[in-house]
Chains A and B, each alone.
Chain A
Amino acid sequence: MKSEIVVETRNLSMHFGGVKAVDRVNFNLRENELRCLIGPNGAGKSTFFKCLTGQLSPTSGDVVIRDFNGTGRLPHEIARLGVGIKTQVPNVFDGLSVTENIWLAARRWHGAARARSLTSQTVERLKLGDIRTDLVGQLAHGQRQWVELGMVVAAEPWLVLLDEPAAGMTHDEIERTVEIIREINQQATMIVVEHDMQFIRMISSKVTVFHEGRILIEDTMDVVTADPRVREVYLGHGAS
């Protein structure tokens, strides 16, 4: 028996002037799935992601999250559904400490005591204990990414949307991030936008390939990498 569809887009389009960044995309995601969105630069995956998270209001079409019509909603309304979102550029509170950052996310949904215990759990889970009291603005790039992931998981979301979680990380940091993502996936359905193929292989999930604002193919990584169309538009440079 297939599990329930939790994220669905119907003919989703986003146009900037004459540019069709996302063009009539129909996309389905089932519960507990871990899906990677890939595609060359300008393929529309980040725009698609921003339409899902409420950072952009689509030109036409619908976004449905569970039974909620999320089209053109604001980010906080999407988050209120129990959706955890991490953006491409680390969006963190630079002037606050690591604990404060995570506490703010936990406290949004829980009472004071529960928020405190969730915060320390999350700090532990992401191994941020050593830098707990440091200002996030002074941390290294990889650590800032983890703080942001910490804010995502501290809210205990059932759906997690990550935009390039491994961008700018060292190899060791990427491995750690993959571990974190697998762990999050134990409890939550996930969408990960990424262009690092290495990283996607490590996650080993079903992959949706975007090309020119549309979905080119949707399958496992092995099938996708073997597909000639994908080779041409995306891997072409390396394969030929």
Chain B
Amino acid sequence: MSWTRENRWRAALVLVGVVFTLAAPGVLELFTIINLSTAIALAILALSLGLIWGYGGILCFGQTAFFGIGAYAYTIAAINFGGSSWAVLVAILAAAVFAAVLGYFMFYGRVSDVYMAVITLTVTLILYSLLRRTSGPEYKIGDALLGGFNGVTSPPLNMPWAPYMPLFPEHVFYVGMTVLIVGYIICAWLIQTHFGRVAVAIRENELRAELIGYDTRFYKLAMFTIGGAIAGAGGIIFANGVGRVTPDIFNLYNSALAIIWVIVGGRGTLAGPVMGSFALFYLTSWLGTQGTVNNNLVLGLILIIFVLAVPRGILPTFISWWDGARSRRAMQRRELKIRRRRGRRSSDLRETADEK
């Protein structure tokens, strides 16, 4: 990985994240830290969608499905295993496998963009309605009762292979931030590998990518699966932050939220969606405490306004504005220099003319 301008920014961002991770528990109240864990979980979800949509060009309206499956699989496995270590692996694997199976049907079936969006959303909504119906005692996996719309209480994470040492909320915060930062680094690395560049190429022109010999179906499937795994990891943090998983994780509102983070933050960036998720998390929490305006109303307006007015999202718009401003400034400097030189030259000329 070379130290391009993007990577210098990414390194700076990682540094900010690390400093924040170390400093926050000392400065902020416990309640804020617990709340933050949930926000971080959502940020990981945003990151995963930013990767597959922004770089892979895969229009997934149901990224929350993998997030929710991660959360449910973690909870169910942790209850059954009596500890979280294997549950974490099971959760990430479950999300990745689900993404792989769904992705196989879509990519190898050559489903178009728009259909893909609708199918992923539909699958999420069906998970929602299925899990809501699991309230009876007959719906259980091992020792874990699914509990219908009340959901399941999630056992807390514990130290690796030491179920007797559960983590405290601030530790969950550390784990969450670590997953977010490591996930971010992995994504940033991935998009610069050969694999990542091919994924971007497919986003740009799928036929051309095929004509130069890439099996685009495979690349999309791999990207989708990786995205699913990251979202699943986010789900684990979410289950720990909230302490319970309910079918609401799969509802339409949450699917919309994930899309809005990426739209607002900007496709084709990784930091944009992450920042978008934090911003909207605090916006919606604040609106919730105000109780005057309905959240749906505000989010709907935000989505419509961005699609019509800022389709690229905040971060890319800001970057191109910044670049534009910088090159304008550079141009002005150059012009000034030229003008000065020209002025000097013309005065030189005048002097020589005077001498004559």
Instruction: Indicate yes or no for A touching B, C-beta below 8 A.
Output: yes
Residues in chain A within 8 A of chain B (CB atoms): 53, 55, 74-76, 79-80, 85-87, 91-96, 100, 103-105, 107-109, 112, 148, 151, 155
List the B residue with the shortest CB-CB distance to A137: B204
CB neighbours (8 Å) of A94 from chain B are 204-205
Residues in chain B within 8 A of chain A (CB atoms): 194, 197-198, 200-201, 203-205, 207-216
9 contacts between A and B (CB under 8 A): A76-B215, A76-B216, A80-B213, A87-B207, A93-B204, A94-B205, A105-B213, A151-B212, A155-B212
List the B residue with the shortest CB-CB distance to A161: B211
Q: How far is the CB of B214 from chain A (nearest CB, A)?
A: 6
Check A76 against B214 for contact (C-beta < 8 Å).
yes
Q: How far is the CB of B190 from chain A (nearest CB, A)?
A: 16
User: Quick one: which of B204, B208, B210, B211 has the most chain A CB within 10 A?
Assistant: B211
CB neighbours (8 Å) of B200 from chain A are 93, 95-96
Check B211 against A75 for contact (C-beta < 8 Å).
yes
> How many angstroms from the CA of A117 to the CA of B303 in the assembled complex?
46
Check A85 against B211 for contact (C-beta < 8 Å).
yes
List the A residue with the shortest CB-CB distance to B212: A105
CB neighbours (8 Å) of A76 from chain B are 210-211, 213-216
CB neighbours (8 Å) of B212 from chain A are 79, 104-105, 108, 151, 155
CB neighbours (8 Å) of B194 from chain A are 107, 112
CB neighbours (8 Å) of A92 from chain B are 205, 208
CB neighbours (8 Å) of B201 from chain A are 93, 96, 104
**Residue of B207, B213, B216 touching A91 (CB-CB under 8 A):** B207
CB neighbours (8 Å) of B216 from chain A are 76
User: Quick one: which of B203, B205, B210, B212 has the most chain A CB within 10 A?
Assistant: B212
List the B residue with the shortest CB-CB distance to A136: B204
Check A96 against B204 for contact (C-beta < 8 Å).
yes
CB neighbours (8 Å) of A108 from chain B are 212-214
Q: How far is the CB of B62 from chain A (nearest CB, A)?
A: 26
Q: How far is the CB of B200 from chain A (nearest CB, A)?
A: 7
CB neighbours (8 Å) of B203 from chain A are 95
> How many angstroms from the CA of A151 to the CA of B211 in the assembled complex?
10
Q: How far is the CB of A40 from chain B (nearest CB, A)?
A: 26
List the B residue with the shortest CB-CB distance to A82: B213
Given contacts A94-B204, A95-B204, contact A104 B197 (CB under 8 A): yes
Check B213 against A155 for contact (C-beta < 8 Å).
yes
Q: How far is the CB of A188 from chain B (nearest CB, A)?
A: 15
> How many angstroms from the CA of A104 to the CA of B195 in the assembled complex?
10
CB neighbours (8 Å) of B204 from chain A are 93-96
> How many angstroms from the CA of A105 to the CA of B201 in the assembled complex?
10
CB neighbours (8 Å) of A55 from chain B are 207
The 7 closest A-B pairs by CB, nearest first: A79-B213, A93-B204, A91-B208, A75-B210, A105-B212, A85-B211, A76-B210
CB neighbours (8 Å) of B208 from chain A are 87, 91-93, 148, 151
